[in-house]
Homo-oligomer: A and B are copies of this chain.
């Protein structure tokens, strides 16, 4: 019996089951496939092409700030991981251990990196001697492993791809400035390129990175009202430097400890693109990140001249710098439309015999389904305009969604009601005590997402315990 490829299948609607909708989209848009290895995903061509575009954009922004790329080993000896106490406590329970090399049992276990602070510290200790060697601003693109119990494609997987920047500075001020600078790089990238607005803020001590003095975060809001931590930037102060002995001689030949930062963004952000912009027909990709921005779909392509004209149109668009494909397969136009929608290609260009005769084509926007009849003569300019409009409309819609999904709570009843019934962030004051954070999580499943940079004073008391409030916190259920 011959195997036949199945038709494009319908996906579960968002309103019916958001989690199932997500799973349907990532698999049916062919972003990922499940592998035989527990919790590890295969990133398919469309998923990887999105990641390549993310890499290209971020890498250029990093380099513009003086960052250089390096590559560190993927293995960390157990003794090295243990050098910083908080760090090892945070990561040891969730790492994969290599115990055998070839046919031999290793004298010391190696963990597959869950993150590379310890390796960078060991390296910096060797290469930093004088203040002339500072700052060091290194980054690497790699995969890391965290042995998670429950996994979901992009959002939480045993192995994922990311970049991790690690910097060393002469002063605490410089380290703090770099930490904030990189958080802003992430926030601007999300807004400008991914059309995803974010809340910037600082994590509470409970939620900060293992070993950090301060962790800053950008938090995005998904379509279902849950938050997604989308990028983090950590200031380590001189904690790691003291644990590893990373010192430099200053202008007066006095030995000083360096101050360090690290910051990362991962393939998780692809989950954000899906859950912020997607709809019941599949992916909707912001034009700036879309691997294919436009697809030309010929109508009645067997009629004389249609395919030739379609190829010509495709070439003209490519020449204008648009990432464009021609779908001249023998599938029906309807099927091609479904595929374009499922895969989130920002615009399709329909071109049939009548269009050709009239010297026009029909542009259809993926996000609004708006149809735009346009002259073939000015097609490239019009497509460019439509793509630009779509990009800014998508950001505006995502901003509107964020702004209309932030509620305020002044007492605990109001807070519990908001978490239960109003999807989105809940703004509420906090006393600073970790016990209140724990109680809130136990009672509502909401966690403190961040203490936003833009602080407000909406109540004098903590929403949980009623003692004097110290900080405004954004709370929410999160991925």
Contact = CB atoms under 8 A, between A and B. Distances in A.
A121 B255 CA distance: 56
A37 B73 contact: yes
A12 interface: no
Interface string A89-105: 00001111111111100
A36 B145 CA distance: 20
Size class of the A contact interface (CB-based, 8 Å): 35 or more
Interface stretch (A38-46, A197-205, A434-442, A452-460): A38-46
A103 B93 contact: yes
A35 B123 contact: yes
Interface string A261-278: 000000000000000000
B147 A102 contact: yes
Nearest to A2: B249
B75 A37 contact: yes
A184 to B, nearest CB: 24
Interface string A282-317: 000000000000000000000000000000000000
Contacts of A112: 74, 98, 112
Contacts of A35: 72-73, 119, 122-123
A69 B94 contact: no
Interface in A1-60: 1-5, 33, 35-37, 40-45, 48-49, 51-52
Interface stretch (A125-133, A345-353, A409-417): A125-133
A71 B42 contact: yes
Contacts of A69: 45, 48-49, 52
Contact of A96 (B4, B37, B77, B101): B101
Given A43-B71, A94-B102, A112-B112, A2 B33 contact: no
Contact of A129 (B4, B129, B147, B248): B4
A247 B2 CA distance: 9
Interface in A218-255: 247-249, 253-255
A76 interface: yes
A160 to B, nearest CB: 10
A74 to B, nearest CB: 6
Q: A interface, by DSSP: helix, strand, loop or mixed?
A: mixed
A80 interface: yes
Which of A100, A126, A143, A249 has the largest count of B CB atoms less than 10 A from its CB?
A100
Contact of A37 (B49, B77, B93, B143): B77
A73 B40 contact: yes
A80 to B, nearest CB: 6
Contacts of A33: 123, 126-127
A405 B123 CA distance: 41
Nearest to A79: B36
A33 B126 CA distance: 10
Contacts of A103: 93
A273 B103 CA distance: 33
A45 B3 contact: no
A132 B45 contact: no
19 contacts: A3-B255, A5-B132, A5-B133, A33-B127, A35-B122, A37-B76, A37-B110, A42-B123, A43-B70, A45-B68, A45-B70, A74-B74, A74-B159, A75-B96, A96-B110, A97-B99, A98-B98, A99-B99, A102-B147
Given A33-B123, A74-B74, A97-B99, 12 more contacts: A2-B253, A4-B249, A5-B129, A35-B119, A35-B123, A37-B75, A37-B110, A45-B138, A52-B69, A71-B143, A71-B161, A97-B98
A-B residue pairs, 10 tightest by C-beta: A2-B249, A40-B73, A3-B129, A2-B253, A45-B68, A43-B71, A97-B100, A101-B147, A102-B147, A37-B73
